[in-house]
Structure 1
């Protein structure tokens, strides 16, 4: 009788060890799992990388391997379109469905070979091992080996004519940006998304001094930009609550309320609390409202570290009613977050045009509600971390048309936002782009995509 091969047997490595025991194997396997979960199951990357509740394999890794996973997945998402095009050129036909992690294994390996400082030999070897240990991917182990080795040999020919900006942006997003801003700016936005964002800190006071102490540079208004990566908790001033992490663009909307000292201000959709901290540090009596109790708990923990006192309310804004009107309202509305792709490279691959439509409806409903929550003559700032006109300029135009005579636009001046003239539109709105300069040197180029408009209740 012929013995049937045992396809479940784990292949042994040539050095006598098991492939799963090789240094770096666990990190690559987790990276492929997480990449697949993000792209195919639409799970947010932050959730997968959460050290308390995220991917179990990621939580089990040592610190250096976690950093490697972040780097691999980040590169794989930022350059996903390029990698997909390269695979199209390398494969005679599409890989069938239900083949395990074959495509994810290939994407992880190519991300290392082309965009990270990883030797081809290591990336190829570990990818082949991974395919061999995945029951459904095992029949494609030879294909994985052949495809990656060919890429190593023909790298220049396969990559020299790639249109990275176009390929790395999903068609629906590219169309949206091109229609709103033109092709030149759309390309600059996409180019900015291929680079990891610097670390920005909002400081309570004396940004120039903190820039010196932390080896950074002042940008925007009260923001310090750092270029060296490391544990945030280990930086000087963290334990003392001298600063908090917040992108330079995200810090601008709170400044549009002017001098808030002694005023009662509502921060709506407040978590994780960067704008809440700004308002409280400026002397406002802040009510921070958010629909998520869990996110509000984290906000409260942040305020405790910063030594700031705020009131928190867990509520859906569509059913909330304040007891008395506020002096000012900051509405950081739920949005698609397409302005944060530099920091969240999963956004293009987990969001769809349908999300923009639904979120735009919510934004319109909230804008109409909050008019009554501010005293006559009080200011309302509406903002979104989105690049989509439907969540910015178009949303505001419709709002003004619906509320004629009840609200008026208060135009934004460059002096209010640290002289960032490029970020002010002809209508007097704030429109930050990922490719805009945040400071005076090329190194300080880059910020989150943000929109804000300021109104006064008549």
Structure 2
């Protein structure tokens, strides 16, 4: 998208109390928290957004920061092409220019509003430099490519899959709902104007207000990406059998399993996140036993017919909704998560009785967190079949499932997951 408005030739007089300034300041702080401190957008939002008064300002700040991170490599290319020498990667001027360009090129904010609400974040020479660079890019009708450019280390890790994945990151994702009763799929889809890609699944346009949707209070559904619903669905109907949902919070898969007739034990180390699960169980009229424990120290008091291990991971598969992961994850984080995943898998295999089923899943696009882990499991494979998956998805030759944001693109894409299944 090009900017065609005329560019001011000199910095205008700016009111430092301009409308929208607090949201832009918060967006810049979010950006810096991710890129300098290595924090997640969610964690940084707890303090970066606290000064904003209403949900609209908070949503706007998050949108600016999110689009800045989604297109960061390309925004920096534009900035560097309009300066005599490259700005420091962490320079405040660069941060402000990133959020200015993200607003103009992605959020369609008029240039005069961008200038009035962002330049007050700078003073003196920094302000003049930012105004000059922004104006120069306006005059050139600067535009972003159709597909975001991935950071070099990410491209190297994802290899031949990188281009297809990047194509799925151009826009934030739509809203997916998982129904408590899959038999109601057609009726609910028609009533809510939704598209369904699988039994029990509904897809609505992004930005749809969740708490205003029909049947929210009655607990007929919960928010869950289509890909995130697949690991639990691969265990089938429970018919009263016992399942252990390891690392269960915030609980979408627990809800699925309970709705499918399983007796669920949901275990997680994070008590605060499990409280959210309790609330969702109550809202949806479902039951599960909740255990607050470290899975590496836990000893089951009963046998389970199945175990679902949705393991802690880098979460790079959620990059279309959490673009901060594109810039936070490196070899240290990967080493930490893969070590934990291997330990959790060993315990899960040891707890599984003869005839029991194990499903391992990660919302990751990293080979080391997916296929490399699955290859070391000494159980009989229970291959995933295409008939168990939404139309358009296929298992790998090994009988595993890999999804990424570039898949089902004509329907709005989906998160990246790796899923494998075994029988003991």
> 1:66 and 1:256, CA in 2 relative to 1: closer, same or farther beyond 3 A?
same
> 1:19 and 1:104, CA in 2 relative to 1: closer, same or farther beyond 3 A?
same
1:42-441 to structure 2, matched below 5 A, reads: 42-49=38-45, 54-55=46-47, 57-96=49-88, 101-132=92-123, 138-156=124-142, 159=143, 164-165=147-148, 167=149, 169-178=150-159, 182=160, 185-205=161-181, 206-399=184-377, 403=378, 407-420=379-392, 422-437=393-408
1:448 aligns with 2:399: no
Cα distance in structure 2, aligned partners of 1:97 and 1:357? 26
CA deviations on 1:357-408 (whole Å, 9 max, x unpaired) are 2211111111111112222111000000111111111211123xxx3xxx10
Structure 2 stretches lacking a partner, 5+ long: 1-11
Verify the 8 A CA contact 2:380 2:423 in the aligned structure 1: yes
Structure 1 stretches lacking a partner, 5+ long: 1-12, 133-137
TM superposition score normalised by structure 2: 0.92
Give the superposed CA RMSD: 2.0
The number of residues matched between the two structures is: 412
Cα distance in structure 2, aligned partners of 1:280 and 1:164? 39
Q: What is the CA-CA distance between 1:299 and the residue it aligns to? A: 1.1
Secondary structure of 1:288's counterpart equals strand
CA deviations on 1:327-346 (whole Å, 9 max, x unpaired) are 10000011111111011111
1:135 aligns with none
CA deviations on 1:55-79 (whole Å, 9 max, x unpaired) are 2544533232222212211210110
Q: What is the CA-CA distance between 1:349 and the residue it aligns to? A: 1.2
Which of these residues, 11, 15, 19, is aligned with residue 23 of structure 1? 19
TM superposition score normalised by structure 1: 0.86
Q: Which has the larger radius of gyration?
A: 1
Verify the 8 A CA contact 1:102 1:131 in the aligned structure 2: yes
Secondary structure of 1:326's counterpart equals coil
Cα distance in structure 1, aligned partners of 2:365 and 2:55? 34
CA deviations on 1:275-320 (whole Å, 9 max, x unpaired) are 0000001111110011111111111111111111111111111111
Higher relative contact order, chain-length normalized (CA < 8 Å, sep 6+)? 2
Secondary structure of 1:261's counterpart equals coil
Secondary structure of 2:372's counterpart equals helix
